[in-house]
A and B are shown apart, each in its own frame.
Chain A
Amino acid sequence: MKINTIKKTTGFHVVSLFVSAGLLFAACSKSSNSANTGTPLPVNAIRSTSLTGGNVKGTMLTDSTYTVSGDITVLPTDTLTIQPGTTIKVSGNHKFTIQGIIASLGTQAKPITITTQDANPQPGEWGGFQCDSAKSVTFLWTKLLWAGGADASGGTTQTIAVSVPIPVDIEDCWFVGGQDNQIGVYSTSTVKILRNSFYGNGTTDGDCIDFHSGVTGVVAYNVLWGSAGSAIKVFTSSTIQNPQTNVEVYNNTCVESGFRRGAAEPGRGVLIDAFSQARVYNNLLANNYWSLDITPTSDFAHTVYNNNYFYVTVDSLRQFMYPAGEKGTVQSGDIINLTTTGANDPKFVGYSTTVNPNNRIIPSNYDFHLQSNSPALGKGYTGTVTGLPSWAPALSSDIGAYVSDTTGGKGNRHAAGY
């Protein structure tokens, strides 16, 4: 059997150390730590706020702060629910291995925060959510910060990794400062990746969203700034054409993606590659190393793209808006100027036109909401998109993630920053 060993394999390993089984969800009478027990208390409440690892199930309680000092496993028959307003601090490089169900159910008023305990956080401080064999993955209004630490075999980890065919629902979340990929799905999962914000992910490699091996679903209304690799990568496999990755990518704002990986591996705003197909509309692509790349090995015949907005303020990036030699070419509804750098300013609320490729912390003045006079407003494609699932929010008549009409799930709800 020929094994296709391609050198550039970043192992996103899901790992669990052999952890001794301890019932950590049991009531802990001696502990002075106690979760804020509002009313009514769920029967399966996790009352101890100090989790030292092992198998965990039940509900983490609203507005409580939990500390995690060991690897956590949610067994195949178990569910871990996180209530709004919960904060989880992970000390050391520990991770959540999800074999059952994870439901992190924050709200706009009470988002959940899952981060490192380190006062001076760096990328890769904890191991993220390794959901390779999970039954279901749901994250709503959750901040996932500084994840991606080494797995037990030494590789980087993804902040949320899935490789089984399950529903993956990630809405209104923040991903900041991860070591490598933020959302990696490698299966025929159906994904809902809506209205999330990604800031400064990937140290010297890593994509914000990385699909492989037959993913279907929707990626819309996300704001993605400053990833080391691509903001949105759509890929089937370089060896196995089926099942095919086939997704809808619309109304995303991708800014300054793909520099930290170096010129040899330029990251893209949106990349459609390796036997995959997609519908790509209404994306606002500003100052990405390569903007929109539909490669010769993509399923170009079935890929539709239009009404995308291109803005570069650096001469050298202009040639890579539609990189030469690739399949993608300028479409009738695109807003693009191939000859003038700085043309088609989308008029972000806050932006500096100087691109600093080394930047991993988003400058405080950056705000990708659009000013009322933005030329991106009203330029979106709102026609029929073949195969758009019925549950998906409609395409906006505006381009980018922040849109004026936010009914029906349209438009990113986040304020600037995190």
Chain B
Amino acid sequence: MLHRNCFLLTILLLSFCTAFTQTATIKGNVFDAITRDGLPGCNIMINNTPYHKVADTKGNFELRNIPAGEYDLTITNVGYTETHRHITLKAGQTLQLFLSLNQEGKAMEEVTVFGKADREKETGSRDRERSASNMINVISSQAMVRSPDISAANVLQRMSGVTIQRSNGGDEAYAVIRGMEPRYSNTLLNGIKIASPDNKSRYVQLGIVPSEILSSIEISKSLTPDMEGDATGGTVNMVVKDAPDKTSFKATASIGYSGLFFDEKYVAFSTRDIQDKSPVQRNPPGYQAQPGDFSRSNLTFWSRQALPSTTAGFSFTHRYLHDKLGFVLADNLQNQYYGNISFQATALPLNDTTGQLHPNDANNFKEYTQQLNNGLVAHLDYVINEKNKINLDNFYLYSYLAQTRFDANNILIGTGGTGAGTGQVFNTYTSQTQHLFVENLKLSGQHILSPNFRFDWAGVYSTAGNRQPDVASINTVYLIQNNGVQTGTYFDGISRTWQKNDDKEYSGILNLDYRKRFGSNELQIKAGGLYRYASRNNVQDDYNLIPPATNANGTAASKPLWTGIDNAQWDVFNPSGTTYNPNSYNATETIYDGYGAIRFKALMWEAGGGLRVEHTNDTWNVLQYVAGELINGGQIYQEFLPSGYFKYELANRQYLHFSYYRSITRPNYYELVPTGGSPAVTTGFRTEGNDTLHHSLADNLDIRYEWFPRGDEHLFIGAFYKHIVDPIEIQLTGGTNGGLYVVKPLNSHPATNVGAEMSFTKYWGRFGVTGNYTYTHSTISSDQKTPQAKDVFPTRPMQGQTDHIVNLSLLYKDTKHGSFVQVSYQYQGTTLAETGQYAGADYFQRPMNTLAVSGEKDIRKHFTMFAKANNLLNTPVQQYVQGVLVLKNTYRATYSLGIRYTY
């Protein structure tokens, strides 16, 4: 497989003579021989002359006023074989050259701190994958920009082994890696954790991250000792634009529309009277909330044609002060209008002995959402000298959401329900706005002290938060009697909630790196540590507005009919707000990590391993709910996480890669808080935390065959095995001795997760195919009930597991005409969406086929037009329990058209 000498030079020669010029012009484009992507920044020199040029971001160059004659050209680019070309220029001629370069066959080498690999290009991604000592999959900015996707979540779900777990509305999206719930993965920004804006979990909502501000996303499926160990499924590392070595400017703008709004109106509400703080929070202590403290305008809904979705963004990179000071500024703004039409139900056995399930609590709802996401990246680096560099990075993510939700909930079983088409229908009208932010400020340095010894450090301040002021719901009810007659609609009350949470994290990181060469072998010893202090503060204040107990003439009132928000009268049932709320809690986490690692590289193999120690100290506190109940607590534990790998070069650019690592999964902050609010509700279950919940430990084994034939072509075939002790799952428990059933996180019996993964990219001239396939099979058993309330422990997959995932994209690249087309198909097999409370009544998501298309075309110098279309098959999300439909979400296709300027 040696073809590093294979050398292709394509020349298309167009001669054009004019009588009066004595000089000639060379115009051309330099591109990767395999991927046919233009190669920006490559250097075109005419030997023995002063003429030279650096290609622009698309690989185009132009050399003017060159005297006629014969010349030798030299074309160089980092990572590519130097290429020479002999040309003859006639006076007045414009010579068109299309030059293809071949990648160098480089030795295995980890990207070093001063490395020049271009992470924005797919070829750079393959370099990362090839040289990393752990198993990673990388997608580059170039591939993301060209894909049909605009958010990190959507990009991720096309990567090998990843699915995205979404909330109903589709605005919360978390990565499920290799069938492991989001809790088993961590999310990093430039290799360092970011704070979570969620009020309960530790996750970061990937749907709010515009992919345009990223230079790559790396998923690590095995860990090395210098990586944080809470990634049993894997690590998602979002790498933002960084370290410019040349000036660039890019701008992009697009406009789009959701197909849902071709035949649905958008339902909006006014946000003008929404107060940031609740009545009690904005008034002096002791204040009693009055009916007039609650606005009506945010519960006044009207329909209109949906506005188009728009995106706009730019990035600018430049080096100042004789290239010592690098500067990056990038921003991307997405303002989207989307919606969904949904159905949701629960499935229950009726009190017959067959155990057959019936739908209950059938809820038809529609959501209309405006979501504005903005990502801002600022970076400064200062190269003190060739051995010392300081970086300052700031990453700011802001997301605003305004959502209208209309529910029509028909309880089919229980009071008043006798089957479909009769019974009580609870109509709920909800408006909510939400502000999410994530900010990450990092100061870091890299220092080469001697040829053998280097170190790097970082200090990070990360904040994240969520503000949901005045989430307001109107509750109404009517009854469809058994004779089909419908009663009037009654006003059941209004709920108002103010919720906010703040996370703050302070991290310090230090890594020491010693390397020594012995002939062609190299020994590397690394050691380092991490300190992090994280705190979370959650505050929630709820109000219950009820129909007045007395009517206008002073006598007792029945529940009034609902005649619109403008006529509604209410009393504030809890004028002091909520003095206790299970969602008001504080939590802190202090982590000390230390590690030592050793790595040895020989000509044909390399091996490494080490040990990481993670010390965790978690605390929580809440207000007291019932006397004697715990109001604060915590956990302290320390785990040793060994890891090792071995990589063998089977043949040129073909490797066999083994790895083992032990990982940890810490409970979410909220899950340790044992109080759970109201102990008795008429229906449904109380949700509780569990202060004795144990963290999970997992042993992970991986094997992968890796082949990098040429360019960004690759083939990976691998398998993995995971054994998880104390896996955490949310379960229905209790009920013993007649007590209440509660929903709480518990440690299940040990689980295993085995699977296989394959991914590849292959080109044939202008055509390419890239794809991946993942098979996952996990087994876990936890407590479920029979309809007779007996405890059983059936074996089933872990929550979130998808059995088969296929991604397949067809690519067409025509460098000459600057056109690119990608058709992306995805198959997501059966997914265990949620476990049911009854054995055998788990919620499975039906397999889904989705199709998306994107394309771009250079329209003139610097300008490219692009188009993206998603969900072309109008694929709904559907969940079933034993053939009973319990969830259906329909989103429809989305379309967008845009233009990009590149300098």
A interface residues (Cβ-Cβ under 8 A, vs B) = 1-19, 55, 73, 75-76, 97, 99, 122-124, 132-133, 150-156, 161, 163-165, 184, 186-189, 203-205, 210, 212-214, 228, 233, 235, 237-243, 259-266, 271, 273-275, 295-299, 323-326, 357-361
Q: Is the CB of A154 within 8 A of B411?
A: no
Residue numbers in B under 8 Å from A260 (CB-CB): 556-559
Residue numbers in A under 8 Å from B729 (CB-CB): 1
Measured CB to CB, the nearest residue on chain B to A301 is B351
Q: Contacting B542 at CB < 8 Å: which of A8, A124, A154, A261? A: A154
Q: Is B283 an interface residue when CB atoms closer than 8 A count as contact?
A: no
- What 3 pairs between A and B have smallest CB-CB spacing? A188-B738, A325-B482, A165-B738
- A and B contact pairs by CB, cutoff 8 A, 27 listed: A1-B743, A2-B834, A8-B492, A8-B683, A13-B678, A16-B627, A55-B627, A99-B628, A123-B549, A132-B626, A153-B678, A154-B542, A154-B574, A155-B678, A188-B737, A213-B741, A214-B738, A235-B682, A238-B360, A239-B684, A240-B837, A262-B560, A264-B487, A264-B489, A266-B479, A295-B418, A326-B418
User: Mask for B530-558, Cβ within 8 A of A = 1, else 0?
Assistant: 00000000000011101101010001111
Residue numbers in A under 8 Å from B543 (CB-CB): 154
Q: Is the CB of B627 within 8 A of A75?
A: yes
Q: Is B483 an interface residue when CB atoms closer than 8 A count as contact?
A: yes
How many Cβ-Cβ contacts under 8 Å join chain A to chain B? 287
Closest CB-CB distance, B610 to chain A, in whole Å? 38
| Alpha-carbon distance between A54 and B682 when the two chains are bound, in angstroms | 29
On whether A13 and B843 interact (CB within 8 A), knowing A154-B573, A203-B549, A264-B424, the answer reads: no
Q: Contacting A265 at CB < 8 Å: which of B424, B557, B581, B835? A: B424
Q: Is the CB of B547 within 8 A of A204?
A: yes
Q: Is the CB of B624 within 8 A of A14?
A: no
Q: Is the CB of B544 within 8 A of A238?
A: no
Residue numbers in B under 8 Å from A152 (CB-CB): 578-581, 625
Q: Which of A122, A152, A233 has the most CB of B within 10 A?
A: A152
| Alpha-carbon distance between A400 and B464 when the two chains are bound, in angstroms | 63
| Alpha-carbon distance between A31 and B54 when the two chains are bound, in angstroms | 95
| Alpha-carbon distance between A264 and B411 when the two chains are bound, in angstroms | 13
| Alpha-carbon distance between A325 and B731 when the two chains are bound, in angstroms | 36
Measured CB to CB, the nearest residue on chain A to B834 is A2
Measured CB to CB, the nearest residue on chain A to B730 is A1
Residue numbers in A under 8 Å from B785 (CB-CB): 240
Q: Is B528 an interface residue when CB atoms closer than 8 A count as contact?
A: no
Residue numbers in A under 8 Å from B479 (CB-CB): 263-266
| Alpha-carbon distance between A189 and B426 when the two chains are bound, in angstroms | 31
Q: Is the CB of A153 within 8 A of B739?
A: no
Q: Is the CB of A240 within 8 A of B735?
A: yes
Q: Which of A7, A14, A19 has the most CB of B within 10 A?
A: A7
Residue numbers in B under 8 Å from A238 (CB-CB): 348, 360-361, 411, 413-414, 683
Q: Contacting A14 at CB < 8 Å: which of B556, B679, B739, B886? A: B679
Closest CB-CB distance, B272 to chain A, in whole Å? 26
Closest CB-CB distance, B780 to chain A, in whole Å? 13
On whether A163 and B740 interact (CB within 8 A), knowing A1-B837, A2-B346, A274-B413, the answer reads: yes
Q: Is B315 an interface residue when CB atoms closer than 8 A count as contact?
A: no
Q: Contacting B626 at CB < 8 Å: which of A6, A97, A155? A: A97
Measured CB to CB, the nearest residue on chain B to A267 is B415
| Alpha-carbon distance between A189 and B788 when the two chains are bound, in angstroms | 19
On whether A4 and B482 interact (CB within 8 A), knowing A274-B413, A274-B414, the answer reads: no
Residue numbers in A under 8 Å from B576 (CB-CB): 150
Residue numbers in A under 8 Å from B731 (CB-CB): 1
Residue numbers in B under 8 Å from A266 (CB-CB): 416, 479
Q: Is the CB of A7 within 8 A of B475?
A: yes
On whether A4 and B683 interact (CB within 8 A), knowing A18-B623, A18-B624, A297-B350, the answer reads: yes
On whether A11 and B678 interact (CB within 8 A), knowing A2-B843, A265-B416, the answer reads: yes
| 8 A Cβ contacts from B326-353 to A | 346, 348-351
On whether A7 and B426 interact (CB within 8 A), knowing A203-B549, A260-B558, A297-B414, the answer reads: yes
| Alpha-carbon distance between A188 and B680 when the two chains are bound, in angstroms | 13
Number of interface residues of B (CB under 8 A): 95
User: Mask for B127-153, Cβ within 8 A of A = 1, else 0?
Assistant: 000000000000000000000000000
Q: Which of B483, B547, B625 has the most CB of A within 10 A?
A: B625
Residue numbers in A under 8 Å from B755 (CB-CB): none
Residue numbers in A under 8 Å from B555 (CB-CB): 358
A-B contact sample (19 more), CB < 8 A, given A187-B740, A263-B479, A326-B418:
A2-B843, A6-B684, A12-B681, A19-B624, A133-B626, A152-B578, A163-B739, A238-B360, A238-B413, A240-B785, A260-B556, A261-B559, A263-B490, A265-B424, A265-B477, A275-B351, A297-B350, A299-B351, A358-B555
Q: Is the CB of B843 within 8 A of A10?
A: no
Q: Is B422 an interface residue when CB atoms closer than 8 A count as contact?
A: yes
Closest CB-CB distance, B487 to chain A, in whole Å? 4
Q: Is the CB of A153 within 8 A of B681?
A: no
Closest CB-CB distance, A94 to chain B, in whole Å? 12
Q: Is B840 an interface residue when CB atoms closer than 8 A count as contact?
A: no
| Alpha-carbon distance between A254 and B492 when the two chains are bound, in angstroms | 25
Q: Is B438 an interface residue when CB atoms closer than 8 A count as contact?
A: no
Q: Contacting A4 at CB < 8 Å: which of B549, B574, B685? A: B685
Measured CB to CB, the nearest residue on chain B to A214 is B738
Closest CB-CB distance, B484 to chain A, in whole Å? 10
Closest CB-CB distance, A39 to chain B, in whole Å? 34
Q: Contacting A2 at CB < 8 Å: which of B426, B482, B837? A: B837
Residue numbers in A under 8 Å from B561 (CB-CB): 262
| 8 A Cβ contacts from B65-116 to A | none
On whether A5 and B544 interact (CB within 8 A), knowing A154-B577, A241-B349, A274-B415, the answer reads: no
Residue numbers in A under 8 Å from B732 (CB-CB): 1
Closest CB-CB distance, A310 to chain B, in whole Å? 18
| 8 A Cβ contacts from B789-811 to A | 789
Residue numbers in A under 8 Å from B626 (CB-CB): 14-16, 97, 99, 132-133
Residue numbers in B under 8 Å from A261 (CB-CB): 490, 558-559
Q: Is B388 an interface residue when CB atoms closer than 8 A count as contact?
A: no
On whether A264 and B490 interact (CB within 8 A), knowing A18-B623, A240-B837, A323-B482, the answer reads: yes
| Alpha-carbon distance between A168 and B542 when the two chains are bound, in angstroms | 32
On whether A358 and B740 interact (CB within 8 A), knowing A12-B682, A132-B680, the answer reads: no
Q: Is B765 an interface residue when CB atoms closer than 8 A count as contact?
A: no
Closest CB-CB distance, A124 to chain B, in whole Å? 8
Q: Contacting B411 at CB < 8 Å: which of A6, A75, A186, A228? A: A6
Residue numbers in A under 8 Å from B559 (CB-CB): 204-205, 228, 260-262, 265
Q: Is the CB of A204 within 8 A of B407?
A: no
Closest CB-CB distance, B270 to chain A, in whole Å? 25
Q: Is the CB of A9 within 8 A of B478?
A: no
Q: Which of A15, A188, A271 has the most CB of B within 10 A?
A: A15
Q: Is the CB of B677 within 8 A of A204?
A: no
| Alpha-carbon distance between A242 and B788 when the two chains are bound, in angstroms | 6
